[in-house]
Structure 1
Amino acid sequence: MSVNNWSLSYTSAYFDLSSPGILFRWQKLYACDGTPRLKPKNKGRPRVTSHSSTPKPSSEMTEKELREELDYLRAENAVLKKLEALTQARKKKAKTKR
């Protein structure tokens, strides 16, 4: 642009950009922060990092971590029991309908 003395409209048309506003925004970002600011950013939610498949041995865990794991396992167990009870109830209901 400034090398060839082209206008924003002409430059955006030359490079087939949808509007001169995009080029103006890029120019402003470049003036503020240079080329690192022009790199595209990841869109959407960040990926969830999975925890390691091998848990920390209980001998290395603090009391707080052990209590948190115990609470988590109790909740997981309760959910599984509820699921099993619902499955059994559906099977029983299906048998009585026949």
Structure 2
Amino acid sequence: MKDNNRKRINRLIKIMIEVKTSPRQTVPFLISKLGISRTQYYKDKDDLKSIGFEYEYSRPQKRFIITADKDLPVNSLTLTERLSLIMAFRQLSASGDHIL
């Protein structure tokens, strides 16, 4: 795999992780954290949308809201199972293990 593709894929994964685990950050803060331009951020957001991960920033709620995520179909899981998965995902992310 080319180095540029690897960097792009890593960046897309980082965006997904940030939106999922730290939804209460602003778009400018996320862009700064990722070290990318605003234009690149919106291109990446469109790329994520094309693979089934859609989100938006809600100004009234001051947070990211995931509107579609084909990554993990959780419709058949109980609330307890969903919360367990969320907590496990956050723990892995906090420990620096971003390979799931």
> Whose helix proportion is higher, 1 or 2?
1
With normalisation by structure 2, the TM-score equals 0.28
With normalisation by structure 1, the TM-score equals 0.28
Computing the radius of gyration from Cα coordinates, the structure with the larger value is 1
